A and B are shown apart, each in its own frame.
Chain A
């Protein structure tokens, strides 16, 4: 049996407390009205606008405002209806609209930070459950020594799911404005959202979320229960039940996961749609989940648990990390390239805002999620070096956090983004909660699922 070391417990509690304090600060520091926003913007003036010459334009032409075309006054006086005073007022109005816009973005910022971190850790637990079910459905022989680790990680599914539901419900009851389609005033002026109202309305949205979370949590409960009962069973009845349950779960999962990604992430941009978005989010959660399995396994191994896990098991996990990272890149690029190339305004705005306002994060995350795992894990021998797998795993997790970040943030905080105290605190809080729940759950059952009929094969597995 695994016992939670007091050090790890203390570490997770400190993370939670620090994260909570940071979050409270983040919510307090939100500007209360437009005046404060004005001051805030005046304070951190990002310097003056630097004009760059366009291709084929010389520096001289840049200074010449008329760009070579001299202004020739018209012989006919142009009469505009607007007086000078009116024009002045319009400019002021435009500034006010802009300030109000920034004000709403800053109000959204701590909520969005909580939302991103909550979803990130929730999706890890969900990804691990999917991987676990795949092992059962495929009757995999190599992995049963890792089953208890996977069961432990999926323990976060229910608490994480409840947190997600509460966050969505808070959005639904207008405590925050993450989902723009929930605002009746916006919908009143937006025909596209009006046409989607039969699907995108708050009650149906919350009912769907409840169905997904309850469904996944139920499957998780029965899968773990059967797996634990199999430990002391004389026949393999519980194993057979889990086989059927896993197959059923995978069908339920791939439908609900897809819909979940439309609901919880894609609907943040209610005008935009992508038909492979469900797969894209799935690949992200799958690779993060597998990475966390590898990290927890290596941690437990370093504490002298899991005597039957050898380098070949780590090697296989690293192969999955490598392969699914490339799969993720394939989906990312398929989504990006088609939309970028076709350049249809209603689609391409999604990437325009990401490239213009989030350029570094958007492309940096592709480097973290693709180039690093590709080069670090390509060599067969490196996949067996545990610290190498840990380093790559940390990079992959960081990359996929940023992936969720650029999926959520452009629609919620726009150009007012910054990875500061609220974002890091939310990450610390949910990270601490995740560690606490996962490692607590690992103490609940023996780490060796001895009743599994494939256990012998898994113990002697070698590549």
Chain B
């Protein structure tokens, strides 16, 4: 009885978005939603907390910038100074413009790659992981909403979901 859920399938993202709003309004609780592509505005409609991924990305970018500065300072100034184009490498600040492309690239590299890894870790994705989506059609052209039954009447909930435009409704009872 504890984890009875209903899987409602939709065939259109606008319909899904509308249904999410209706379900929220009727105070039913939504578990997961599986979609074949990111649906714009779905996180807001579901009332999910805003992502903190952007903040981590900013921090990774700063780390990348610092790594680039340290790296170029070691390679070009301290370890093996060279005179390139009449610009002897005696001080970092005087040679800095030449290092800007590297600083930029490493900032982007760190921000992008570490952000992707963070995203994989947070969403518990790794290679050879078994797919969690309950219906294979959610990778093609169907949208699946998981609604917790809880203390509600199953019959009533099913009718309600049918009226929101669900094309298919399944009751899943995990004993």
Write the residues of chain A forming the contact surface with B, with a CB cutoff of 8 angstroms: 55, 333, 336-337, 340-343, 378-380
Contacts and interface: CB of A to CB of B under 8 A. Distances in A.
B87 A343 contact: yes
B49 interface: no
Interface of B: 54, 58, 85-87, 90, 97-98, 100-101
Contact of B58 (A336, A337, A378): A378
A281 B35 CA distance: 46
Contact of B54 (A333, A337, A342, A380): A380
A337 B90 contact: no
Contacts of B87: 341, 343
Contacts of A333: 97, 100
A340 B90 contact: no
9 closest cross-chain pairs (CB), A and B? A337-B97, A340-B97, A343-B86, A343-B85, A341-B98, A341-B85, A333-B100, A337-B100, A336-B97
Nearest to B86: A343
19 contacts: A55-B90, A333-B97, A336-B97, A337-B97, A337-B98, A337-B100, A337-B101, A340-B97, A341-B85, A341-B87, A341-B97, A341-B98, A342-B85, A343-B85, A343-B86, A343-B87, A378-B58, A379-B54, A380-B54
A379 B55 CA distance: 9
Contacts of A343: 85-87
A337 B54 CA distance: 30
A378 B87 CA distance: 35
Contacts of A380: 54
A344 to B, nearest CB: 10
Contacts of B97: 333, 336-337, 340-341
Contacts of A378: 58
Nearest to B98: A341
A340 B98 CA distance: 9
A379 B57 CA distance: 12
Contacts of B90: 55
Nearest to A380: B54
Contacts of A55: 90
